[in-house]
Amino acid sequence: MRSFLLFTLAAMTISVGDTVAKPPSAEFKVGEPFPSLVLPSLADGKPLSLAQFRGEKVILHIFASW
């Protein structure tokens, strides 16, 4: 758990994108399910979904490399 936490915190410091004041993320609401979406994996283009991680807690980071 601790090593996972350290990894997670490290990853969260590498957030890129807009760091100036921005509108709130109104589209994601606490208590609601994350939208079901099947998208290609960056690694190999195969279908990937958050549903594959059921049973595990997930820290989801939505970002861009710029």
Partner 1 sequence: MVGIIQEQHPDRARLFMQWKQMGWPILVDSLDLLGVMVVPITLAIDEHGIIRAVNPERESIEKSFLNQNYLAPQQQTVNTIKPPDLKKLKAGTAAGTASSWRTYADALVVWGAGNQLDEAVAAYQKAITVEPGHGPSYFRLGVAYRNRYESSARKSDDFQRAVEHWTKALDMDPNQYIWRRRIQQYGPRLDKPYPFYDWVPAARQEIQARGEKPEPLRVEPGGAEFASPLKAFASNEPARPKPDAQGRVLRDKEGFIRAETAFVPAAVAPGESMRVHLAFRPNLQRKAHWNNEVEDLVFWVDPPSGWEVSNRHLSVPNPKTAVSQETRHIEFELKCPPAARPGSVRVPSYALYYACEDVNGTCLYRRQDVVLEVQVRSPR
- Binding footprint of partner 1 on the chain (CB under 8 A): 1, 4-5, 7-9, 11-18, 20, 22-23, 25, 27-43, 47-66
Minimum separation from the CB atom of position 55 to partner 1 (A): 5
Q: Write out the H or E segment, with its range, that includes residue 4.
A: helix 2-12
All residues at 6 or more sequence positions from 8 whose CB lies less than 8 Å from its CB, including other chains: 59
Least Å distance, CB 28 to partner 1, is 5
How many whole angstroms separate alpha carbon 27 and alpha carbon 33?
12
Minimum CB distance to partner 1, residue 50 (Å): 6
